[in-house]
Amino acid sequence: GDSVTQMEGPVTLSEEAFLTINCTYTATGYPSLFWYVQYPGEGLQLLLKATKADDKGSNKGFEATYRKETTSFHLEKGSVQVSDSAVYFCALTGANSKLTFGKGITLSVRP
Amino acid sequence: NAGVTQTPKFRILKIGQSMTLQCTQDMNHNYMYWYRQDPGMGLKLIYYSVGAGITDKGEVPNGYNVSRSTTEDFPLRLELAAPSQTSVYFCASRRQGGGEKLFFGSGTQLSVL
């Protein structure tokens, strides 16, 4: 079945540091790929998405590129802020309409 | 615009009790989902529905039941609560289409003691 693998966390960075969170996937066909973010005490909300190979999703300074050859969708941001502290989930929608999530990774940004 | 509304926000149950977690959405979405979130384990799909009258099991359906009599509502039923069902539960919905994003409710924190 479909699966999403995220790098182990947690991650702690200083403000203005560069961020990379790795995500790889296994799926049949051509899945859509997503990054969701969860702020403390809230539900998840969409951060960005890509629906086909080589597409780049971007939002709030975050970017991720759909790499079919490496089955990856790594999340990057050039300069993180304290307000980016949250839990980040990589996810995919497969052929069966189910959304499969990775385990999530906690990001803490120090001032 | 309410979006996805879940009730209650918090609940404590005794072992063996039953309860229903309510979920309603006002966006006319066909697809609805129930997830549970446990620390360090991400989100696990319990049940999902692609339209009124249609439901299907996810990864962890045991101990739960659902129904989808209307497009708007997708309640989750726990018949005999067990400590293993202590978790945070999220309902979500989306439009049909692989690239469509999920809209999440604010969650229900359930403790079974």
pLDDT of residue A98: 77
**Is A101 an interface residue toward B (CB < 8 Å)?**
yes
Report whether pLDDT(B1) > 70: no
pLDDT of residue A60: 95
Which among A101, A103, A105, A106 is the top mutation candidate for probing chain B, defined by the most B β-carbons within 10 Å of its own β-carbon?
A101
**pLDDT, mean over chain B:** 93
Which tens digit of pLDDT belongs to each residue from B74-108? 999 998 999 999 999 999 999 987 678 889 999 99
Report whether pLDDT(B5) > 90: yes
Which among B43, B55, B59 is the top mutation candidate for probing chain A, defined by the most A β-carbons within 10 Å of its own β-carbon?
B43
| CA A94 from centroid of its chain's CA atoms | 16
State which residue of chain A sits closest to B102, comparing Cα positions.
A46
High-pLDDT (> 90) share of chain B, %: 84
Hey, are the CB atoms on B104 and A45 less than 8 Å from each other? yes
Hey, are the CB atoms on B41 and A31 less than 8 Å from each other? no
